[in-house]
Structure 1
């Protein structure tokens, strides 16, 4: 049956995905609910001015007194990307490496399903889950915009959600690939997590460190969020780069998995 692995994977993980999505949406709604009580506080500007320049650069905001600046700092600067990427890595590491660790991968491969199909459809499930979790953030931001007077542009909020979903997909599929190549769930989590932290720091610190600036386009965070989608909308280049990265990572994982002996 077409996409049987994808269907089974989505069916097995939908509860976990919904839990992540609801939790992230609730957190975003909480941030939104705080806006009416703090938007007129002059201390917000003082707080931003008191922040170290490094922290302001990492959060990619220059004004906490505007809705866009507030959401950028509280949601898109760290919390949103952190949770979407974390979900994707956990989901990706649970794919091939997780199934192998539970001694269920051998049963899957005993069916008339090639290894390439397993890798690609497991990767597809991770991408789909990342987009669903990011969509929950999008809906929560749109709801907050209406309920709490954030007045965010709908198209720009949707763009931010799309870029967050693709950002998670990059690291999630990387986790699938590491798990496919090594069979280790620990490595499938650790390698993408370390690279995600390094990529986040590269994107945030590049404006302050001259020699890092030429390397900044290598960071998926810069490709996804560096153009500040809440202000500018969708970056076609960012979408293309992230989709291409996902495709390359999945394609690379196929031969790596094909060459390895699988623990039954």
Structure 2
């Protein structure tokens, strides 16, 4: 059997599946990964330099403007075939969960429920001082020409600056999200890791943890990110192309399961 047929056979036999997704699954929707150069007014910046508490303290208007731009990029994007395949999988007879490193809402818009966001979400900002959650002001949701400098709104409780509700470099993951993710990983018999770089810790350890708990792992990535373990399968390609193929493939002699 080919590797994708082997992976499809494993998928057919699995009862508890966890998808672990990274920037690669949203790249086909036009959301740039951190390894890509920015364009337009942001072409002179490295995204990694804008993703820190230090950067926000030094220039809150710059960082808030960057996140308003990112929110608008996400709002204009549509879930791709990879996101839809993950959602479609949940309609099968098995238990399917999603853990994502992404801060967009494309999984939810594709129909996935109860998505665990390890790195937070662009949807709801929080106060930098008291951590109160609040929506983005209506006058900042849709700006016709997003500039580099936009002052963040103030918290109605303590007057502190609102910050994006995401995890910046050097910050801890939300304890509740991490605990939920670990329970899902411990309980699965198959983890499908999609478009993850394997760089950002501790989330990058999740495939290795799944293997340690006895699960099998299918990697979907444009480069080989496998660790050479016996229960690993490496499918090289874009998530939007590979995931639908994985769900529609079958090993010789096995019934097709994921019909529309």
TM-score (norm 1): 0.29
Q: Which has the higher helix share?
A: 1
Q: Which has the higher strand share?
A: 2
